[in-house]
């Protein structure tokens, strides 16, 4: 019996609940969603229904007035009870940056770590504990600049965790330098003559690393944000959710084209699995794919006819389709971008495989005699 098992047996409620692995059939689970929450398999369910307040810590929230982070926090706290899992079996790990203060405000286990390393630390948590749901809170500087290496590796490994990447296209906590998602020519404190470097498209980057779940949403669209988070939590493996998040102090209005009611219809390219990609006022715009190059482009539906539009398929094994769609995102000042789930495919999760190896090895016998035999080795001699 390990010390963790020992602790579990001493507590009122056993923590290991392989029996309740299928949340979709639980009375407390997300009934009616039509989704199987494989991503949460092994995480014990709460014995009582939880509400938003249960996921609210006693800490005063200290973001700037009007910060998009408030909306994401509210959506998260509203959505977590719906998962039905015990809050003590939830771990939130963040890096450094404004959004990375997030764990302090949620009454679960949490670690506000160091710059860029949240995905690495979360990999350890997720691999160690099957019975814990792991969320990573990070930003464009944290995940894509200093932590870029860890991000691509957690995605390629497909560790079972959900990453919320708050992208405000600026460094907020250090007071307004350009970030790796800022458009070229950005005038900031550190780039008075304009920034020179080409930005990352986080969705393209994640798909390049063959991430198995990649989505984009907007801080101010509570319904869409919640829907995407739900699907991300349901996914077993690494889920990357890019959240367009407004910084009212240093980059205000960066996503206005998508938020303003007068422009949003033509700015948001909605991705819904199984639907033709059609948008704009009265649906006058659509997405087509060049059969020769595979490149996607936006066209007037009237010019090509409805049948020519691309039907979104998030479940294709090859990430090329999703990658092609991600290229419809403006690299400069944002006027238009796809929103929704780009890719959602099943693949073995690293942490499951790692635990399977340990379990398989343990089945060969691991008592103290086996330990003594290992230490003795093959060549011993006895001195009398």
Partner 1 sequence: MKHVNTLDRVVIRFAGDSGDGMQLTGDRFTSDSAVYGNDISTLPNFPAEIRAPAGTLPGVSSFQLHFANYDIMTPGDRPDVLVAMNPAALKANIADLPRGGVIIADSADFTKRNLAKVGYTSDPLTDGSLEDYQVHALDLTGMTIEAVKQFGLTRKDASRAKNMFALGLLSWLYHRPTDGTLNFLSAKFASKPEIRDANITAFKAGHAFGETTEVFAVTYEVAPAPMPAGKYRQISGNLALAYGLITASRKAGLQLFLGAYPITPASDVLHELSKHKRFGVTTFQAEDEIAGVGAALGASFAGHLGVTTTSGPGVVLKSETIGLAVATELPLIVCDIQRAGPSTGMPTKTEQADLLQVMFGRNGEAPVPVLAAQSPADCFPTALEAVQLAIKYRTPVVILSDGYIANGAEPWLIPDIDSIPAIDPQFASATNGTDKVGEPLFLPYLRDPETLARPWAIPGTAGLQHRIGGIEKAKDTGAVSYDPANHEEMVRTRQAKINGIVQDIPDLAVDDPSDSEGRHARVLVLGWGSTYGPIIAAARRVRKTGRLIAYTHLRHLNPFPANLGDILRSYDRVIVPEMNTGQLAMLLRAKYLVDVHSYSRVRGQPISLSELAHDLEAEIDQLEGTNP
Q: Please, which of residues 298-317 interact with partner 1 by CB under 8 A?
A: none
Write the CB contacts of 161 (distance below 8 Å, at least 6 apart in sequence).
119, 122, 123, 126, 134, 135, 136, 154, 238, 239
Closest contact distance (angstroms) between CB of 287 and partner 1 is 35
The answer to whether residue 169 forms part of the interface with partner 1 (CB under 8 A) is: no
Confirm if 105 and 57 have CB atoms less than 8 A apart: yes
The interface with partner 1 within residues 316-355 (CB under 8 A) comprises 354-355
Residue from 25, 51, 149, 295 binding partner 1 (CB under 8 A): 149
Closest contact distance (angstroms) between CB of 48 and partner 1 is 11
Write the CB contacts of 235 (distance below 8 Å, at least 6 apart in sequence).
38, 39, 162, 212, 213, 344
Residue from 34, 193, 262, 374 binding partner 1 (CB under 8 A): 374
Confirm if 157 and 34 have CB atoms less than 8 A apart: no
Nearer to partner 1, 146 or 331 (CB): 146
Closest contact distance (angstroms) between CB of 42 and partner 1 is 11
The answer to whether residue 89 forms part of the interface with partner 1 (CB under 8 A) is: yes
Nearer to partner 1, 193 or 364 (CB): 364
The answer to whether residue 192 forms part of the interface with partner 1 (CB under 8 A) is: no
Q: Choose one: 3-11, 163-171, 263-271, 328-336; the region binding partner 1 (CB under 8 A).
A: 3-11
Binding mask 14-33 for partner 1 (x = CB under 8 A): -x------------------
Closest contact distance (angstroms) between CB of 67 and partner 1 is 17
Residues 9, 123, 29: CA angle, nearest 5 degrees: 55
Pair type for strands 109-112 and 90-94: parallel
Q: Choose one: 101-109, 271-279, 284-292, 305-313; the region binding partner 1 (CB under 8 A).
A: 101-109
Confirm if 361 and 355 have CB atoms less than 8 A apart: no
Q: Choose one: 149-157, 238-246, 268-276, 309-317; the region binding partner 1 (CB under 8 A).
A: 149-157
Task: Say what the alpha-carbon torsion angle 293, 299, 302, 304 is, to the nearest 10 degrees.
Answer: 0
Task: Say what the alpha-carbon torsion angle 16, 22, 25, 28 is, to the nearest 10 degrees.
Answer: 40
Residues 35, 41, 46: CA angle, nearest 5 degrees: 90
Closest contact distance (angstroms) between CB of 63 and partner 1 is 13
Selection from 253, 213, 217 nearest residue 233 by Cα: 213
The answer to whether residue 122 forms part of the interface with partner 1 (CB under 8 A) is: yes
The answer to whether residue 145 forms part of the interface with partner 1 (CB under 8 A) is: no
Residue from 41, 90, 160, 238 binding partner 1 (CB under 8 A): 90
- Rounded to whole angstroms, the Cα distance separating 321 from 310 reads 10
The secondary structure element, H or E, covering residue 217 is strand 213-218
Residue from 36, 87, 194, 270 binding partner 1 (CB under 8 A): 87
């Amino acid at each position: 019996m390990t010390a963790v098992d020992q602790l579990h047996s001493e507590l009122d409620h056993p923590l290991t609940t392989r029996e309740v692995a299928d949340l979709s059939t639980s009375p407390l689970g997300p009934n009616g969603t039509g989704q199987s929450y494989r991503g949460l398999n092994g995480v014990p369910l709460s014995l009582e229904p939880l509400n938003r307040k249960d996921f609210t810590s006693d800490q005063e929230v200290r973001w700037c007035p009007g910060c998009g982070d408030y909306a994401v926090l509210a959506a998260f706290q509203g959505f977590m009870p719906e998962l039905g899992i015990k809050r003590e079996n939830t771990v939130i790990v963040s890096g450094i940056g404004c959004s990375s203060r997030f764990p302090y405000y949620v009454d679960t286990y949490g670690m506000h770590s160091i710059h860029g390393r949240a995905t690495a630390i979360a990999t350890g948590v997720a691999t160690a504990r099957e019975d814990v749901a792991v969320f990573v809170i990070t930003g464009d500087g944290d995940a894509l600049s200093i932590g870029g290496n860890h991000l691509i590796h957690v995605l390629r490994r497909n560790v079972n965790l959900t990453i919320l990447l708050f992208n405000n296209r600026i460094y907020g906590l250090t007071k307004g330098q350009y970030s790796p998602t800022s458009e070229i020519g950005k005038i900031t404190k550190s780039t008075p003559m304009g920034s020179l470097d080409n930005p990352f498209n986080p969705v393209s980057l994640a798909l390049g690393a063959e991430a198995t779940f990649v989505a984009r949403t907007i801080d101010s669209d509570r319904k869409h944000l919640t829907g995407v988070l739900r699907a991300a939590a349901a996914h077993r493996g690494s889920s990357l959710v890019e959240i367009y998040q407004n910084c009212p102090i240093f980059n205000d209005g960066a996503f206005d084209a998508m938020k303003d009611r007068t422009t949003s219809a033509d700015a948001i390219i909605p991705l819904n699995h199984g639907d033709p990609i059609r948008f704009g006022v009265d649906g006058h715009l659509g997405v087509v794919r060049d059969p020769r190059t595979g490149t996607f482009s936006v066209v007037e539906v009237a010019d090509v006819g409805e049948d020519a539009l691309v039907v979104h398929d998030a479940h294709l094994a090859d990430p090329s389709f999703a990658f092609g769609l991600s290229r419809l995102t403006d690299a400069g000042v944002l006027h238009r971008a796809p929103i929704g789930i780009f890719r959602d495919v099943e693949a073995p999760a690293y942490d499951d495989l790692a635990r399977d190896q340990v379990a398989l090895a343990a089945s060969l016998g691991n008592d103290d005699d086996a330990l003594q035999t290992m230490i003795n080795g093959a060549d011993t001699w006895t001195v009398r």
